[in-house]
Structure 1
Amino acid sequence: MHEPLVHARTAPCARPAPSTSYRSSPVVELVDYFNHRLANQWPTGKRDADPFFLRGDRVCARIAGKTLHSQFRTLADPEGGARPPALLARLVGGDTDGSVLPAAHFLARFGATPTIVAVDRACRVLHMLNHLALGHDAVDLWLHVSPRHVLGVAAGHGQFFEDVLQRCGLGPDRIALVVPFLSRARPEFPRYARGLANYRRRGYRLAIDLREAWPVEAAASLRALAPDWLRLPYERFLELGAELPDVPGLLRGLPGAVPVWQRQRQGVIWQELAMPA
């Protein structure tokens, strides 16, 4: 197995000196547009001035005092199927050591719901701008969405981001929204399911992250959420032990076949199951 292509930019993002090299670029116009657009939606007193800016061939953002940019990791079909690869977008903290910054950890510093929604949107706008700037517009994109965002928006889930996509030349069908699993036993589950259903009605695909849940316990909730994809890394398989060969059976009742996505990590192949609807 070969390491799939990884588009990673890990050098620090410092604000550049003024330049004319991007003036005719649509990316510059979009950076200006979304700086203005988010200014009208950001909670009062919480937003950095003009958070998005260009650095070299990528877009960076300054949010809550931290400089961020995007890293894209390729999800490729190891069986060589017809399905094109997709890119999984991740936050990178460019003003420290350039390491991946889990979105959930970054968002944990924000308490109020309006701020969570605004910051979560800004992170996805950042990824979309870099997706376009780096010439990945022909490739589908997987983007993390905070569950607090899903629960914090009363209606119209995906409407704001649909404008982002249209301006970047993409449609919702090209986007998989990655969200964590939530059990039906949780009191907020009905609101969570309704929010995700709103995204689905707009054409977004849905990827449920099962890294923190046992598949055998998740089946009923997954049927209610009706995801297009399941994210289940190889580490979860190791925990299943002797049940490993029966993992597809544990997910019986959900539509579609189960292809396996593989990558190399420190010489060990690990897997992400993805289940298309």
Structure 2
Amino acid sequence: MTNRAAHFVDWLNQRFIQQGAPVQFSHEGPRVAAHGFGVALESAFQPIIGAVSGRTLGWEGLVRPHSLAGESLPVVEFLDRFATGDDMARVDRICRSLHLANFVRATPADGYLFLNLHPRHLLSTRRHGEVFSHIADAAGVPPQRIVMEILEHKTSDEAQLADAVKALKARGFLIALDDFGQEGHSVHYDRLTALKPNIVKFDRSLIAGASEARRY
């Protein structure tokens, strides 16, 4: 672990202790944080490949929960425990902080970090990106290297979602749309114009459909 990564882990622990959050980030192991809700969380990084260049543009941080005994837990089941309000905001921030800590430790200095962001989280807070901007600054990662990836889930207020995304952009974060064109998620076509994302990740079904159409 580099000195910067070690310092950031210490900074995170102090911050969460002050907030009374039941979490302890670990210096040991490649990507591990012990979580006070009875699970351990790890980061898994999926490379993001440019469609034209074919080169790795960045890495998407994905949470992998385990029981304290080491048994893998379903991600959706874990996240659904914290589906609303302050609990959701705290767990979301813990996961993003974990990915950021491991990104600093394990990846090159010129790639982007993609972080999934459920629309319901953006509707649950009014300080969009304010806290995480401080966390990214402590990690030494500029917001221009962090891509907030808006998941495909529908919301009760798309206008509020657009305002939240605008606030994130104002803080320097990049915005991506996930699984654009996925069957059953027509909401993405409206979001494309409303959110004006920097990056669009096409769903495989859309690409497969285009390839099939070329046969006729």
- TM-score band w.r.t. shorter chain: 0.7 to 0.9
Summarize deviations over 1:106-131 as a string: whole Å, max 9, x none: 32111441111111001000000001
The unaligned stretches of length 5 or more in structure 1 are 1-21, 246-277
Aligned position for 1:89: 61
Amino acid at match of 2:31: R
Q: Which amino acid aligns with 1:210?
A: D
Mapped partners of 2:90, 2:12: distance in 1: 12
Alpha-carbon distance, 1:70 to partner: 0.6
The alpha-carbon deviation at position 39 of structure 1 amounts to 3.4
The separation in 2 between residues aligned to 1:53 and 1:244, in whole angstroms, is: 50
Tell me if structure 2 keeps the 8 A contact 1:182–1:189. Answer: no
Amino acid at match of 1:223: T
Shift of 1:220: 2.8
TM-score of the superposition, structure 1-length normalised?
0.65
Q: Deviations over 1:151-185 (max 9, x none)?
A: 1112x3111111121122211110111112356xx
Distance 1:233 1:220, change over 3 A: closer
In the other structure, the counterpart of 1:198 is: 167
Provide the residue aligned with 2:9 in structure 1.
31
Residues 34 and 148 of structure 1, relative CA distance in 2, 3 Å threshold: same
Counterpart among 90, 111, 116 of residue 88 in structure 2: 116
Q: Percent identity?
A: 24
The CA distance in 1 between the partners of 2:56 and 2:96, in whole Å, is 22
DSSP-derived class of the 1:157 partner: coil
Q: Provide the aligned length of Structure 1 versus Structure 2.
A: 211
- Secondary structure of residue in 2 paired with 1:54: coil
Counterpart secondary structure, 1:210 = strand
Q: Quote the Cα distance in structure 2 between the aligned partners of 1:139 and 1:147.
A: 25
Alpha-carbon separation, structure 2, partners of 1:199 and 1:75: 21
Aligned to 1:188: 157
Aligned-pair distance for 1:145? 1.4
Q: Is the 8 A contact 2:47 2:56 kept in 1?
A: no
| Counterparts of 1:203 and 1:59, CA distance in 2 | 28
Q: Can you give the 5+ residue segments of structure 2 that lack an aligned partner in the other structure?
A: none
- Which structure has the larger Rg over C-alpha atoms? 1
**Structure 2 counterparts to residues 51-70 of structure 1, below 5 A:** 51-70=24-43
Q: Deviations over 1:227-264 (max 9, x none)?
A: 112222313444x478756xxxxxxxxxxxxxxxxxxx
**By how many angstroms is 1:139 displaced?**
1.6
d(CA) in 1 for partners of 2:107 and 2:211? Answer: 44
Distance 1:145 1:33, change over 3 A: same
TM-score under structure 2 length normalisation: 0.82
Residue in 2 that maps onto 1:226: 196
Offset of residue 134 of structure 1: 1.4
Is 2:33–2:40's contact at 8 Å kept on the other side of the alignment?
yes
Equivalent residue letter for 1:171: P
The CA deviation at 1:146 is 2.4
Asked whether the 8 Å contact 1:92–1:98 carries over to 2, the reply is: yes
Distance 1:64 1:137, change over 3 A: farther
Higher helix share: 2
